[in-house]
Amino acid sequence: MPDGEPDAVLVAGPGIRRLIGGEITPTEAIAQDVVAVVRGEESFLDSFASTFHIASFELQGVTS
C-alpha cells in the first residue's frame, strides 16, 4: 500500500457500473446516491470515472 492518506474515499454499491459505463455523469451519480464521496473533493470522482471507464459494445449478430 502507498504511504499517506488517499485523495478521496468513495462509497458505492452495484450502481457504480452505471458511472464507469458512462450511463451517468459523476454529478448525476452523486445526486442519485449511486456514489458518495465521504472524504476528499467531489472533483476526484471525475478522475475515477475516466480512469475506470469501461466502454460498452454491441455484439454483431446476437439476438435476444
Contacts made by residues 20-24, CB under 8 angstroms, sequence distance 24+:
20/49, 20/52, 20/53, 20/54, 21/53, 21/54, 21/56, 22/53, 22/55, 22/56
pLDDT at 52: 93
pLDDT at 53: 93
Q: How confident is the model at residue 48 (pLDDT cuts 50, 70, 90)?
A: very high
pTM (2 decimals)? 0.77
Q: What share of the chain is helix, strand, coil (3-state, %, to 5)?
A: 30, 15, 55
Where do the domains of the chain lie? 9-51
Q: For 27-31, what is the mean pLDDT?
A: 96
pLDDT at 2: 75
